[in-house]
Amino acid sequence: MIIRGEKKSQNMTYRTSMQIISDLLCATNDSGLDGIKTTRLLNKVNLSHSRLLKILDTLTGSGLVNRIEFDGKNTIVITEKGRQYLESYLKFSSIAESFGLEL
């Protein structure tokens, strides 16, 4: 996982909200049609549980991911709209970087 962001100190780099969403969608997309469990997603995108739930609520409300509950466990699956959003974001990010800009 590539983590980019604005430098806050010599040793610490923070991600923007857009970068966190991109990381989350990439991890979900990489998991394929079976989706990814919440705990695995937490570890892959390095977020707190409460922060992840807030972002997932937003992404679910926007139709970018679906949350499926089975036996009390949540599985997150990216939607086609989520794939299109991720593809567009990655293209735009690449263009911005070619001009020396960070999103």
Tell me whether residue 44 is in a domain: yes
Global pTM?
0.83
Range of the domain at 89: 17-98
Alpha helices in 31-102 (DSSP H): 38-45, 49-61, 80-98
Q: pLDDT tens digit string along 36-90? A: 999 999 999 999 999 999 999 999 999 999 999 988 899 999 999 999 999 999 9
- Structure token digits, residue 54: 């807030």
Tell me whether residue 29 is in a domain: yes
Structural domains of the chain, count: 1
CATH code of 27's domain = 1.10.10.10
Tell me whether residue 52 is in a domain: yes
